[in-house]
Amino acid sequence: MSISLSKGNSVNLTKEEPTLKKIMIGLGWDTGDNVIDLDACAFMLGANGKIPSDEYFVFYNNLKSPDNSIQHTGDNRTGEGEGDDEMILANLDLVNPKITEIIITASIHDARKRGQHLGQLKNAFIRLYDVDSKKEILKYILNEKLDHCTEIEFGKLQKVNEEWKFVALGNGSSKGLQGFVDIYA
């Protein structure tokens, strides 16, 4: 059975799912009458809280990390349809040992130009799915009020003492995707 998370909750994936190796990180949302292009990204950080090189920033223009552990499956520009709208695949066994956190973000493409914000989304979520067992491990449904935010740190995978855990973050901002790049690069 899937674990339901709230903002700030965490799950020790290594203890909950000891055989876990390959996960799919799915992000989904509904937009109602608006077409909102939400872009998922993964920032692979070292102990200093920074990406070791640009290639460790995985997004629609850099679909794979240099260690082949993280792969973005491509850009969904509308959010239409049921289920996951954008997906990031992760093979935890292949993650460079220097990487201690993988921050999963989502930002609205051209948010200011289009006058869009995260408060316009409905049913936004992030979930982790075990690729091998085909089982959903956890899900975090975004319930926070983000009317003035254009991007969000949705969650993070964190490696502590050789154990992976997932933390539901839900931290919104209005600095744009470049704001995340400025923090993590």
Helix (H, G, I), strand (E, B) or coil at 121: coil
CATH number at residue 129: 2.60.60.30
Q: What gap in Å lies between CA 32 and CA 36, rounded to an integer? A: 9
Q: What gap in Å lies between CA 36 and CA 167, rounded to an integer? A: 26
pLDDT digits (tens, 9 = 90+) for 146-155: 888 999 999 9
Q: Domain range holding 100?
A: 3-184
- Is the pLDDT reported for residue 76 higher than 70? no
pLDDT digits (tens, 9 = 90+) for 9-65: 999 999 999 999 999 999 988 877 778 888 999 999 999 999 999 999 999 999 999
Residue 74: how many other CB atoms lie within 10 Å: 10
Q: What gap in Å lies between CA 96 and CA 9, rounded to an integer? A: 25
Structural domain count of the chain: 1
Q: What gap in Å lies between CA 17 and CA 44, rounded to an integer? A: 22
**What is the model's pTM?**
0.92
In the predicted model, what is the mean pLDDT of residues 157-168?
Answer: 96
| Ranges of H-type helices in 49-130 | 111-114
Q: What gap in Å lies between CA 163 and CA 160, rounded to an integer? A: 5
